[in-house]
Structure 1
Amino acid sequence: MTHILAIDTSSAWCSVALSLDNAPPIVRHQKVTAGASQLLLPWVQELLSEASIKLADLDAIAVGIGPGAFTGVRLGVAAVQGLATAARLPVLPVASLDSIASQLVQTPAFVASGAQSFVIAVDARMEEVYWANYRVGANSLPARQGDIHLTAPEGVELTQIDFLAGSAIAEFGDRLLASAPSPFSSARLDSSIGVSALGVLACAQDMWSQGLQQDVHLLEPLYIRNKVALTSAERSQQHGR
Structure 2
Amino acid sequence: MRLLAIETSTEACSVAVMVDGEVCERFAIAPRRHAELVLPWAEALLAEAGTHRSALDAVAVGRGPGAFTGVRLGISIAQGIALALGRPLLPVSTLAVLAMDGLRDGGDRVLAAIDARMGEVYAGAFARDGAGLRALGPERVSAPDAVEPPDAGPWTGVGTGFAAADAALVRHLGDHLGPVDAAALPRAGQLVRLAALSMAAGGALAPELVEPAYLRNQVALTLVEQAAARAARG
TM-score (norm 2): 0.87
Are 1:102 and 1:202, in contact at CA under 8 Å, matched by a contact in 2? Answer: no
Are 2:102 and 2:157, in contact at CA under 8 Å, matched by a contact in 1? Answer: no
| 1:169 equivalenced with 2:172 (yes/no) | no
Amino acid at match of 2:93: A
Structure 2 runs not aligned, ≥5 long: 223-234
State the aligned residue count: 220
1:120 CA drift (Å):
1.0
Is the partner of 2:38 in helix, strand or coil? helix
Is the partner of 1:201 in helix, strand or coil? helix
Distance 1:33 1:181, change over 3 A: closer
Are 2:152 and 2:176, in contact at CA under 8 Å, matched by a contact in 1? Answer: no
Report which stretch shifted further, 54-63 or 157-166: 157-166
Q: Distance in 1 between matches of 2:220 and 2:8?
A: 22
Is the partner of 1:175 in helix, strand or coil? helix
| 1:198 equivalenced with 2:189 (yes/no) | yes
Are 1:116 and 1:136, in contact at CA under 8 Å, matched by a contact in 2? Answer: yes
Q: Percent identity?
A: 35
1:29-68 matched pairs, under 5 angstroms: 29-68=27-66
Is the partner of 2:48 in helix, strand or coil? helix
Amino acid at match of 1:62: A
TM-score (norm 1): 0.84
Which runs of structure 1 show a deviation greater than 4 angstroms over 4 or more consecutive aligned residues? none
Amino acid at match of 2:65: P
**1:122 corresponds to which residue?**
114
1:134 CA drift (Å):
1.4
C-alpha root-mean-square deviation of aligned residues, in Å? Answer: 2.1
Are 1:170 and 1:191, in contact at CA under 8 Å, matched by a contact in 2? Answer: yes
Structure 1 runs not aligned, ≥5 long: 232-241
Q: Distance in 2 between matches of 1:40 and 1:183?
A: 38
**1:78 corresponds to which residue?**
76
Are 2:59 and 2:89, in contact at CA under 8 Å, matched by a contact in 1? Answer: yes
Are 2:144 and 2:172, in contact at CA under 8 Å, matched by a contact in 1? Answer: no
From 133, 136, 161, give the equivalent of 1:142: 133
